[in-house]
Amino acid sequence: MKTISARRLLKRKYLPTHFFVDKLLVPGLTVLAGKPKRGKSLLALSLAVAIAKGFAVFGELKTTKSGVLYLGLEDGWNRLQDRLRWMKRNTIPRRLDLGIHLNRLDMGGYEKLEKYLTDRPAYRIIIIDTLAQVRPPIRKPSLMYQEDTSLARKLRGIARKFKAAIIVVHHCSKKEFSGDVTSPVLGSTGFTAGADTVMLWDREHGCDQGILRVAGRDVEDAEWTLNCNVRKGKWRIISYGDSRDLSTTQATIFSVLKKANRLLGPQVIAQKGKLSYGSTRVILRKMKDAGLLKCINHKYSLVREQLTN
């Protein structure tokens, strides 16, 4: 076991966290989850195109240009061709490689990923769509947590070894979003706990808008409403937080805090007001900066004048 004193650690200098996509994608393992047939594969492919081209993601998130390998394991070459044509050929970058097959991870898949990253130093992004096509089978239900943890650890280890980002597209269970980005993701918590970042894509069939929720170790919790032209593979941020009107959310926060008449943390406020935790945190900070709330040790309350109204 190797250790270091706290004082020596504080004296060390480390480079700041590298972002492939500002506020969204860092080196390590990322899980992109969503319900079937809701456009998550097109979302992943549009990310691949933008990063390989060095274009802003969703119209505004700054990108560090990198080569990308997109593995469409549920697709054929004809479907991938169609999707690229939807996005217009002149926007397709040179350093975007595509594949439709990868060995099961425990049958040579891990080694294939490592060899690819070794042979192509300009390619630091790998997207695996979907995990179900390459994951080893669960031997026993009682071992699911341990095997999910091992799977995440191995993929994360490869990503960190090469300072790359591995994005795994995955499915959601029937659970609805209840404030925790990881809870609807299919499988045990071992996999999402082992990931560095979790993205949750939520869009209704036929709707041109969806919500992308993000949580991670090195990214701030975020929630964006995206306008999506699925046929053309174009995605744009149209608002931050959930689809509620900001004034409505503020009113709910005021109501919760007035009833409590004491300091409350963001998670408690979100639960009591039945609000999204991610957007609640953002709006609480904005309300504090505007002088509408006071904040002590990351807990919030109304200012004295509001309590007497």
Phi/psi of residue 231, each to 5°? -65, -35
Number of structural domains the chain divides into: 2
Residue 3 in any domain: the answer is no
Q: Verify that 170 and 80 share a domain, yes or no.
A: yes
Q: Verify that 291 and 148 share a domain, yes or no.
A: no
Q: Verify that 187 and 278 share a domain, yes or no.
A: no
Q: Which of 194, 209, 240 is the last residue of a domain?
A: 240
CATH of the domain at 300: 1.10.10.10
Q: Which of 240, 264, 287 is the last residue of a domain?
A: 240
Residue 6 in any domain: the answer is no
Q: Verify that 168 and 256 share a domain, yes or no.
A: no
Distance between CA atoms of residues 298 and 249, nearest Å: 19
Give residue-wise pLDDT tens across range 51-67: 999 999 998 899 999 99
Q: Verify that 194 and 50 share a domain, yes or no.
A: yes
Q: Verify that 63 and 193 share a domain, yes or no.
A: yes
Range from 59-68, 224-233, 271-280, 292-301 that averages highest in pLDDT: 59-68
Q: Verify that 289 and 159 share a domain, yes or no.
A: no
Range from 61-70, 83-92, 220-229 that averages highest in pLDDT: 61-70
Distance between CA atoms of residues 95 and 50, nearest Å: 11
Residue 173 in any domain: the answer is yes
At 142 the pLDDT is 83
CATH of the domain at 28: 3.40.50.300
At 173 the pLDDT is 83
Q: Which residues pair with 201 in a beta bridge?
A: 34, 212
User: Which pTM does this prediction carry?
Assistant: 0.77
For the segment 73-88, the average pLDDT, to the nearest whole number, is 88
Q: Which of 240, 270, 293 is the last residue of a domain?
A: 240
Average pLDDT, the chain: 88
Q: Verify that 146 and 276 share a domain, yes or no.
A: no
Give residue-wise pLDDT tens across range 125-137: 999 999 999 999 8
Q: Verify that 162 and 291 share a domain, yes or no.
A: no
- Token pair in block for residue 197: 């970042």
Residue 151 in any domain: the answer is yes
At 247 the pLDDT is 53
Bond before 130 cis per omega within 30 degrees: yes
Q: Verify that 265 and 209 share a domain, yes or no.
A: no
Residue 54 in any domain: the answer is yes
At 245 the pLDDT is 45
* Domain span including residue 82: 15-240
Say if residues 56 and 29 touch (Cβ distance below 8 Å).
Answer: no
At 293 the pLDDT is 87
Residue 4 in any domain: the answer is no
Residue 63 in any domain: the answer is yes
| Cβ neighbours around 68 below 10 Å, total | 26
Q: Verify that 94 and 154 share a domain, yes or no.
A: yes
At 307 the pLDDT is 46
Residue 27 in any domain: the answer is yes
